Chains A and B, each alone.
Chain A
Amino acid sequence: MAASNKSIKGIVYAALFGALTAAGAFIIIPLPPVPITAQTFFVNLAAVLLGGPLGALSQFVYLLLGIVGIPVFHGGKAGIGIIFGPTGGYLLSFIIAAFVIGLISGVKKNSGIFWNIFAMTIGMLIIYFIGSLQLAYVAKITFREALTVGVLPFIPGDIIKILLAAIIASRLKGRIKT
């Protein structure tokens, strides 16, 4: 009974974080040079709070929401076309990044704020790498050009998001017992 209780809670929380990431696409901060959304903020948070497998599941749910046709991708887009498009790699990498961040964060039993910042940074690097790989492949540009277009403008915003996510995560840690 205890085991099944655990997983029902896990299911509900993963769905919740899927919805949060979706809502994150609507939170736009018009920052120069490019407007940033709160999606990766919730990717980081889901991974640290839920752990690797559930964090990844929550991002899978998020992608499916978009594929089903709900406009939850950046800029109010939806559809499987976005996944295969130039920016789809960044979305697909959310799943892997959430998994890895959750794993790294879980290595330490009481992961502090700095350890989580480290885990989230690794996760962002994974998102950058996979996203740029697909961008370079689909848009037929070199990997370096893909980095300049698809990563460089987003770095300042992502640093802020990592810091905020780490602070919030340390405040809420221990609140979720899945």
Chain B
Amino acid sequence: MYHIGSYIRGGAIIYRLDPRIKLAAVIVLSIVILAAKPLPSVFLGLALIILAFFSGIRLRTIAQAVKPLLFFIVLIFFVHALFTEGNAFLSITCFGLSLSRAGLSAGFLVTWQFLCLILAAVLLTMTSPPAQIIAAIKYYLYPLKLLRVPVDVIAVMIMLALRMMPVLLSEKERIEIAQRARGYNEKKSGFILRIKAFLSLTAAVLLGVFRRADELAVAMEARNYQQDTRTSFVELRMVSTDFIALFFLSVFFFIFIALNYCFG
């Protein structure tokens, strides 16, 4: 899992933007990108890369965020490349698989869109401190309060879940190393042993993260966490730069949707 919970201090304008605008931009992006045609997707991705460049986040940091997902990215690429119908120009007969031009372009498109989503999510979480993201989520969930949904609690839970994803990964790596240290060799093991190792890995990882969750609950209680309406030291207020950013984002998404129709 990428270290999505990690906020990096910085001084660019994007850091000072209202988190509600950033969150809204990510939500809109995640909707439009799935309907995007190839050319507009490239355009969108380039815009994100330029934005990342101007926000002062180094390419290496982004690469680190993507690295744990590399296997997954390769896998979705091949799933789409191999299972999309089309004229095959290369077929591996012994597996019954075939590679087609349509499949390849579908694979590239899906992978690119996935990278765009990650980049947007990374940009959001790297440029906004957790408290601000919580405030933004709360703001958008506010209508649910009328239905007696505990909005404050849910906003906190989302943040906790975000923060726990890197913890899950490090816990898994720790247990895997422990298994190998005790002589478990994945390549030389039979099927039954592998299932057994998988079961004990899962159980051990879960026990490990349960312990972390217990500690967190105790820590929250020790700091007297209250669940009913909470005040926050983050007061969201829109200033002129926010309105300008909102305007430019609207224009950008409008152009993007128009492009999507033209090149369709």
Q: Is there a chain B Cβ closer than 8 Å to A14's Cβ?
A: yes
Q: At the interface, is chain B mostly helix, strand, loop or mixed?
A: helix
Instruction: Check if B157 sits within 8 Å of A8, measured CB to CB.
Output: no
Question: CA–CA, A45 to B199, complex, Å?
Answer: 13
Q: Is there a chain B Cβ closer than 8 Å to A28's Cβ?
A: yes
- Knowing A26-B72, A35-B79, A172-B203 are in contact, say whether A65-B153 is a contact too (CB < 8 A): no
Quote the shortest CB–CB distance from A111 to chain B (angstroms): 18
Instruction: Check if B162 sits within 8 Å of A65, measured CB to CB.
Output: yes
Q: Is there a chain B Cβ closer than 8 Å to A16's Cβ?
A: yes
What residues of chain B lie closer than 8 Å to A64, measured between beta carbons? 137, 154, 158
With an 8 Å Cβ cutoff, the count of chain B residues facing the other chain is: 53
Bits for A52-82, please: 1 = Cβ < 8 Å to B, else 0: 0000010011101101111100011111111
Instruction: Check if A71 sits within 8 Å of B117, measured CB to CB.
Output: yes
Among A69, A82, A164: residue with most chain B CB under 10 A: A69
Quote the shortest CB–CB distance from A141 to chain B (angstroms): 17
Instruction: Check if A67 sits within 8 Å of B27, measured CB to CB.
Output: yes
Instruction: Check if B137 sits within 8 Å of A68, measured CB to CB.
Output: yes
Across the interface, A79 reaches (CB within 8 A) one of B31, B154, B216, namely B31
Across the interface, B110 reaches (CB within 8 A) one of A18, A62, A75, A164, namely A75
Bits for A4-33, please: 1 = Cβ < 8 Å to B, else 0: 110111011111101110110010101000
What residues of chain A lie closer than 8 Å to B114, measured between beta carbons? 71, 75-77
Q: Is there a chain A Cβ closer than 8 Å to B42's Cβ?
A: no
Q: At the interface, is chain A mostly helix, strand, loop or mixed?
A: helix
What residues of chain A lie closer than 8 Å to B203, measured between beta carbons? 168, 171-172
Question: CA–CA, A57 to B153, complex, Å?
Answer: 11
Question: CA–CA, A30 to B79, complex, Å?
Answer: 9
Q: Is there a chain A Cβ closer than 8 Å to B39's Cβ?
A: no
Question: CA–CA, A14 to B217, complex, Å?
Answer: 12
Instruction: Check if A30 sits within 8 Å of B75, measured CB to CB.
Output: yes
Across the interface, B165 reaches (CB within 8 A) one of A8, A13, A22, A81, namely A22
- Knowing A61-B154, A69-B29, A81-B35 are in contact, say whether A28-B161 is a contact too (CB < 8 A): no
Question: CA–CA, A79 to B156, complex, Å?
Answer: 20
Question: CA–CA, A175 to B210, complex, Å?
Answer: 8
Bits for A76-94, please: 1 = Cβ < 8 Å to B, else 0: 1111111001000000000
Among A16, A28, A35, A67: residue with most chain B CB under 10 A: A16
What residues of chain A lie closer than 8 Å to B165, measured between beta carbons? 19, 22-23
Question: CA–CA, A47 to B127, complex, Å?
Answer: 35
Quote the shortest CB–CB distance from B15 to chain A (angstroms): 18
Query: Which partner residue on chain A sits nearest B124 by CB separation?
Result: A69
What residues of chain B lie closer than 8 Å to A20, measured between beta carbons? 168, 209
Question: CA–CA, A71 to B114, complex, Å?
Answer: 7
What residues of chain A lie closer than 8 Å to B217, measured between beta carbons? 5, 8-9, 11-13
Which chain A residues numbered 149 to 165 have a C-beta less than 8 Å away from chain B?
164
Query: Which partner residue on chain B sits nearest A61 by CB separation?
Result: B157
Which chain B residues numbered 26 to 53 have a C-beta less than 8 Å away from chain A?
26-27, 29-31, 33-35
- Knowing A19-B164, A60-B154, A68-B158 are in contact, say whether A13-B213 is a contact too (CB < 8 A): yes
Question: CA–CA, A4 to B225, complex, Å?
Answer: 9
Instruction: Check if A71 sits within 8 Å of B118, measured CB to CB.
Output: yes
Quote the shortest CB–CB distance from A167 to chain B (angstroms): 6
Q: Is there a chain A Cβ closer than 8 Å to B235's Cβ?
A: no
Q: Is there a chain B Cβ closer than 8 Å to A107's Cβ?
A: no
Instruction: Check if A76 sits within 8 Å of B117, measured CB to CB.
Output: yes
Can you name 8 A-B residue pairings with CB atoms under 8 Å? A5-B217, A8-B220, A11-B217, A70-B4, A79-B31, A79-B33, A168-B202, A168-B203
